[in-house]
Amino acid sequence: MAQALLLPLIDSGQVAAAAVRAVVGTGASAARLAAQHGLAVATDPTEAWQAPVVLLAVKPQLLAAAAEVAQGVTPGGARAGGGERPLLISVLAGVTLARLQALFPAHRIVRAVPNTPALVRQGLTGLAWGAGIPAEQQLWVRQLFAQVGEVLDLPESQLDAFLALTSSGPAYVALVAEALADGAVAAGLPRALALRLAHRTLAGTAALLQEQELHPAQLKDMVASPGGTTIAGLRQLERAGLRSALIEAVVAAAERSRQLA
């Protein structure tokens, strides 16, 4: 997720590669990232914790180790947006502002929930703010995430549901795209063409829903003519429980996010 957020900004020149210190788990990953993007990449996080802004994107089980390193380092450098204390922007699922503030007392804390379409500047990011973040730092963070998509301020209590829909949702949509393409192959289309058509169908449908502000049921009824092909397909989807399965997937993801807290 850190790469999904930062690489589009670096590749477009919005953020200078020289201003970024990346930390990864292995030497092989460090060498690959350095070669591909011209970043300063290390496996030792000490220098990174001296930065005015830290994007924390470790796995939840590594959080305690990251905090131990951070607490042994004095943050330094110019403060982003003119704030007195450095910023820590966490993209960890489920980890609350209160827990983050306890683990990283030298930082002001922002919880961000972005999603992978940020890679193509079509992302969604939900933000929840810790205490004491001045307006100029909030503006800086919003502008950072706005470079890769839409940004929403949310109460922290809504972040789990936001994550379940927007961060986990691309995986569900990808599964639907794959299944649609498989169906087209079963009906006689070549695999490459079936995949391209499935992707374009999903993208075009999403654009139509958004640009004409249609309720999904309106679009479904526009397409499903009496006794036609679409209503025959919809009957099969209802028999298979597709609607219920997607609902339960989002609810399960939200509950898992709460468990991770």
Instruction: Output the CA–CA distances (angstroms, integers) from residue 229 to 83, 191, 243, in the order listed.
Output: 60, 22, 19
Q: What fold is seen in the domain 2-149?
A: Rossmann fold (3.40.50)
- CATH value of 169-260 in 3.30.1450.10, 3.30.1490.190, 1.20.950.20, 1.10.3730.10: 1.10.3730.10
Residue 217 is predicted with a pLDDT of 97
Residue 195 backbone zone (phi > 0: left; psi -120 to 50: alpha; other: beta): alpha
What 3-state class would DSSP assign to 56? strand
> Furthest-apart CA pair in the chain: how many Å?
70
Global pTM? 0.86
Instruction: Answer yes or no: is pLDDT of 142 > 90.
Output: yes
Helix (H) or strand (E) holding 100: helix 97-103
Closest residue by Cα to residue 52 from 71, 75, 23, 70:
75
What band does 215 get if pLDDT is binned at 50, 70 and 90? very high
pLDDT, tens digit, 9 for 90 and up, residues 38-92:
888 888 888 888 888 999 998 888 889 889 988 888 665 444 444 478 999 999 9
Domains 2-149 and 169-260 share a fold: no
- Tell me the domain boundaries of the chain: 2-149, 169-260
